[in-house]
Amino acid sequence: MNALSKEDFESVEVTDEITRLHEEDTTENLYHSCCGGSSDKRLVILLTQVSISIIVLVFSATMLAFSSNHDDKSIYISLISSTISYWLGKNDAERS
C-alpha cells in the first residue's frame, strides 16, 4: 500500500478564504449529488454489489425452501454457489 506524500497534491497559494471555499474538487473517486453531498465511488459500487448479492441469496434460499419442484432447485443452488464463489474468488484476484 502506497502512502501519499506532499508532492501528490497540487500546491496552490490561496490568500482569500472565500476563494478557498469555492474551489472545485477534482478528486476522481467522488460522486457529487444534486443535494450538495458527495460519496466515494468505490464505496457506492461495493455497497451495490453487496446489496444485489444479498438479494440473490435471500431469493434463492426462499425459493429453495418453498419450491416443490425438484428441477427448479438446481437453478437456485447454482445461483447461491455462483454468488458465493464470486466473493471468494474476488479475494484471490486481489492477491495476484
pLDDT tens, per residue, the chain with 96 residues: 556 665 655 655 555 555 555 555 556 667 666 776 777 788 888 999 999 999 999 999 999 999 888 878 889 999 999 999 999 987 665 565
Q: What is the pLDDT of residue 77?
A: 92
Give domain limits for the chain: 52-96
Packing angle between helix 70-95 and helix 41-66, nearest 10 degrees?
150
Q: What is the pLDDT of residue 5?
A: 62
Q: Please report how many Cα atoms fall inside a 13 Å half-sphere around the Cα of residue 63, on the Cβ side.
A: 18
